[in-house]
Amino acid sequence: MKQLLIILSLCWLAGRVAGQGREFAITAYGAKADGQTNNAVAIQRAIDAAAKSGGRVVVPAGRFVTGPLYLKSGVELHLSRGATLLGSAKRLDYTDKQGMAILVAKDQRNVAITGPGTLDGQGRALIQNVLELLRAGVLDDPEWKVKRPTEQNRTHLIAFTRCTGVRVTGVTLKDASSWVQSYQQCRDLVFDSIRVESTAYWNNDGIDLVDCQNVKLTNSFFNSADDGICLKSEDPKSSCDNIYVANCQVRASASAFKLGTGSEGAFRRIKVRGLTVYDTFRSAIALEAVDGAVLEDIDIRNVTATNTGNAIFIRLGQRKAGRPAGTVRRVYIGDVKATIPAGKPDKGYEMEGPVYKEPHNVNPSSIAGLPGHPVQDVMLENIDFTYEGGASKQVAYAPLDSLAAVPERAPNYPEFSMFGELPAYGFYVRHAEGITLKNVRITMKGADYRPAFVFDDVKKLALQEVAVPSAPALPVVALQGVTDLSVKKLTTPASKQQALLVLPAKVRRAL
């Protein structure tokens, strides 16, 4: 009897595994690879069939057009080599206002998108159709006349909400008309070896993880017309927590790796190990808590950024007067090498970043809190930044005797250029506590009228093995309102008396 029970159990298990491994070819359900027919009904039938026992829905080689598809628990959508799943270029084919996307999943478990094929949103053609419908009065979106169609009239490639056990591997994601892929309040996600090529329109974030937990993102490539890898928190009671990013390459017409801007809840236990950034308009690393979020225990290492508008930007702001200022603390960033040009680093790309309204010279990396709400406990270690230089007072001028006039701009959208011209070219640190710079090297190739470092309203500042090989201007380091200062091995062409300047504290104007 015992042996019979074992045999029956093994047979049941084998049948279950076989059921989960079944394949459902979309062509068996009527899908046509003619690049024109909307196959949404046929493909959805295949997904529904696979969902009954668990299985793989296979998109074979060919070009298959589809409208929105709804993935279900236990289903793997596999894009075979040579397969292209084309999102419809007709806006009226997208009827789900809750999830404007090609692939949608809500409250599902164990869903996957795999294979060497491509998911193409046809963003350019879709936006053209949106504009035609807006002009004809079929769609109503008055903002497009002054800016661009809102996100309600633009389509993601992937939009998953409250899903558990998500796997996306191998696929190429191409040309969304909005965020490429959005995962909101999902848990236990794995992304590996995905490729994002999406420069068709604005807001083409490469990936958005919104209030997600337990995420592993590795070995992937992003070329996006907005942020590359972006973590957000849009629920004050939720968080992005336990997220690991490794061995990724990013090109972005915004920031490469960003926490924020949406920052309602928290960001905790975020690790980055190996990031290659190039031709990026804004920051290689941007950590932004501006909506009351707690941002803590961030560990970023091994970053190489070539031709980026800014290397590191850490910001604690307060966009909403009724919300608390939030918290930024316990941040480690190490082993970062970056080159910062004088010109626009994404010039020539299809969707460039905007031209700045306020003229300014090359921007430094920044750590900026608010009065009474400092950024806390930040260590920057093994940092090597090279600036092209060429700053001119005729372009913009922020002398050291006007540090109090640098605007706070607490409610403004956070980005490295938000303060206008800053009085330093290497690092600008204001309203901070517990800041350590260890083994930091700043090289300026051209002229600059500013010092390499400015620290303003900083408690517990440690400069350890800081090197500035050339000094286009003196002082090299300017301090105002700095307490508990430790300097060990500051290397500059000038004497310590010339290199280090302590400025008298001044009353700050509220700007």
Tokens 């930024």 identify what position?
328
Q: What is the pLDDT of residue 99?
A: 57
Q: Give the mean model confidence (pLDDT) for residues 255-281.
A: 98
| Residue 330 pLDDT exceeds 90 | yes
* pLDDT tens track for 450-480: 999 999 999 999 999 999 999 888 999 999 9
- Could you tell me if 133 and 188 are in contact, meaning their C-beta atoms sit under 8 angstroms apart? no
| Residue 270 pLDDT exceeds 50 | yes
| Residue 3 pLDDT exceeds 60 | no
Q: What is the pLDDT of residue 21?
A: 64
Among 162-171, 342-351, 468-477, the range with the most confident prediction by mean pLDDT is: 162-171
Residue 107 neighbours by CB under 8 Å, 6+ apart: 161, 162, 163
- Could you tell me if 352 and 410 are in contact, meaning their C-beta atoms sit under 8 angstroms apart? no
260 pLDDT band, cuts 50/70/90, is very high
| Residue 2 pLDDT exceeds 80 | no
Of 108, 261, 251, 116, give the one whose Cα is nearest residue 189. 108
Q: What is the pLDDT of residue 323?
A: 85
Reduced to 3 states, what is the DSSP secondary structure of residue 129? helix
Fold of 22-503: Pectate Lyase C-like (2.160.20)
* pLDDT tens track for 72-108: 999 999 999 999 999 999 999 997 655 589 999 999 9
Question: Which region among 125-129, 348-352, 480-484 has the lowest average model confidence (pLDDT)?
Answer: 348-352
Q: What is the pLDDT of residue 182?
A: 96
Q: What is the pLDDT of residue 356?
A: 81
**Higher-confidence residue: 37 or 9?**
37
* pLDDT tens track for 127-159: 999 999 999 999 888 888 777 888 778 899 999
293 pLDDT band, cuts 50/70/90, is very high
Cα four-point dihedral sign 37, 40, 43, 45: negative
* Nearest-10 Cα torsion for 497, 404, 341, 311: 90
Q: Give the mean model confidence (pLDDT) for residues 108-127.
A: 97
Average pLDDT of the chain to the nearest whole number? 92
Cα four-point dihedral sign 23, 58, 209, 314: positive
Model pTM above 0.85: yes
Q: Domain coordinates of the chain in residue numbers? A: 22-503
Q: What is the pLDDT of residue 471?
A: 87
Q: Which amino acid is at 429?
A: V
- Could you tell me if 399 and 364 are in contact, meaning their C-beta atoms sit under 8 angstroms apart? no
* pLDDT tens track for 395-435: 999 999 989 999 999 999 999 999 999 999 999 999 999 99
* pLDDT tens track for 168-210: 999 999 999 999 999 999 999 999 999 999 998 888 999 999 9
360 pLDDT band, cuts 50/70/90, is confident
High-pLDDT (> 90) share of the chain, %: 84
Q: What is the pLDDT of residue 400?
A: 94
Reduced to 3 states, what is the DSSP secondary structure of residue 460? strand
